[in-house]
Chain A
Amino acid sequence: MDPTVEYLLRLGDNALILGQRVSEWCGHAPALEEDIALANIALDLIGQTQLWLGLAGEIEGQGRNADDLAFLRDVYDFRNSLLVEQPNQDFAVTMMRQFLFDAFSALQLDALTHSKNVEIAAIAAKCHKEALYHLDRSSETVIGLGDGTDISHAKMQNALDRLWVYAGELVSADDLDRTMAKAGVGVDLDALHTPYFETVRATLATATLRVPDTDFAHKGGKSGQRHSEHLGHILTSMQWLQRAYPGAKW
């Protein structure tokens, strides 16, 4: 696969799978304002997906558009990080997952605005503004609930303990990341590693949460080699309509 296409799939699939996950809250959130906020964030992410996957399809040049890439690929074709496919569980896990992602996404998109690929730079500039809003909100929520009641604190700590091992993959560079960074198209993840964990730890400290004492990171999502069992379930519900009624239009 063309490395730029594969790189764009990583960007698009992160936004798509997280957007789909977050949209599962629609109509179920603990308060109306949270419901609206989550639906809006999901919407932003799906919008970002259309831009990334649209560009991936264009560069691939096989006539596949963003919808084809979203609905007609199977688990092992997906290049999202393991973090975003983790189940919502409860509001605490959802917001912790969002925070760990937003902190990464804001840094990644900011760096991508300097990409030598002008289309990638343009999409990144567009999405970066939205990512900053998302990060504002998820940071505030993590702090509010972490430094909240005994129950909310315990739930946020549980969420952090569950999800911590999925944060590392976001900022761990592999061969593709390094190739793309070297070409000036992608982000140098090695340079993002420190600022990412500094941002995350600072917010978690304000939230009075204890960072798990491990550097271990599950990997295999963005390479497509070892997705968790959850991704297949997401695709089952997300792709059902296009699989059952190929070519169906809204």
Chain B
Amino acid sequence: MQTPLSDIWTWLSDVPDPEIPAISLVDLGVIRNVAWDNDTLEVTITPTYAGCPATSIINLDVETALRAKGIDNIRLKRQLAPPWTTDWLSKDAHQKLEAYGIAPPRPAGGPQHCPQCHSAMVEKISQFGSTPCKAQWRCKDCLEPFDYFKCI
């Protein structure tokens, strides 16, 4: 029996990103498609960064979550093109990231304000941070460093 795809999407939107558990894999925009091919569920996943070590964990977590719901035949498909972009983060993801203490990406190129005190007096420390998708910034008012989810 084929579970409705809307259920699959709901289940997947409960699977947290392994590195930023405040958002789900669906929020992150890496689940590109789900489709039934006879009795096999094909899930199309795109990597965030080519070398992101979370990629294999993401695949494992998707498979584990679907198996727990009784889906036995799963095929994971890697899709490179079009390449992942932060434009694919959901609207919810922006709010969840900010609440978690990570400044969400902005096309303007830097964080709008410090996720802790909301001061706009922020400066870049480094273009690279604790994971490939983040940069390090610092608030000049509360003096706290914070992660910025960088645009790509």
Chain A contacts to B: CB under 8 angstroms: 33-34, 36-37, 40-41, 43-48, 50-51, 118-119, 121-123, 125-127, 129-130, 133, 136-137
Contact = CB atoms under 8 A, between A and B. Distances in A.
A137 B126 CA distance: 9
Contacts of B49: 43-44, 47, 130
Contacts of B52: 43, 47
Given A37-B128, A43-B132, A133-B127, A126 B152 contact: no
17 contacts: A33-B136, A37-B127, A37-B128, A40-B132, A43-B49, A44-B50, A44-B132, A47-B47, A51-B80, A118-B81, A121-B81, A122-B83, A125-B82, A126-B84, A129-B83, A130-B152, A133-B152
Interface string B35-72: 00000000000010111110000000000000000000
B130 interface: yes
A37 B50 contact: no
Contacts, number: 69
A44 B127 CA distance: 14
B126 A36 contact: yes
Contact of B51 (A37, A48, A133): A48
B50 A127 contact: yes
A127 B51 CA distance: 10
Nearest to A43: B51
A136 B110 CA distance: 14
Nearest to B82: A125
A125 B53 CA distance: 20
* Size class of the contact patch on chain B: 20 to 34
B129 interface: yes
B125 interface: yes
Contact of A122 (B80, B127, B136): B80
Contacts of B82: 125
A206 to B, nearest CB: 18
Contacts of B129: 36, 40
A126 B82 CA distance: 8
Highest count of chain B CB atoms <10 Å: which of A50, A122, A123, A126:
A126
Contacts of A129: 83, 85, 152
A119 B125 CA distance: 36
B71 to A, nearest CB: 27
